[in-house]
Amino acid sequence: MKQLIIYHPGTGTLIPLSDEVYLVDAGRVREDILDAMETGGTVDEREHMGYRLDNYNMTNLFFGGTE
């Protein structure tokens, strides 16, 4: 299986999709969670909403499940 990462060119941040990562609709997120995102803060695990991004799901989405 591919090992995929999320890369932010402005900060050079790399987030491997082997970490627990979510795609969240910002329109459905509370203001304090958005504030935490902007300030580099953290969000309580109970607040995770959205779609889990992982190597398996993203490989299937972008590469049709092929290596």
Enter the pTM of the model.
0.59
What is the 3-state composition of the chain as percent helix, strand, coil, each rounded to the nearest 5?
A: 35, 20, 45
Q: How confident is the model at residue 43 (pLDDT cuts 50, 70, 90)?
A: low
Q: How confident is the model at residue 23 (pLDDT cuts 50, 70, 90)?
A: confident
Which residues neighbour 33 within 8 Å (Cβ) at sequence distance 6 or greater? 43, 47
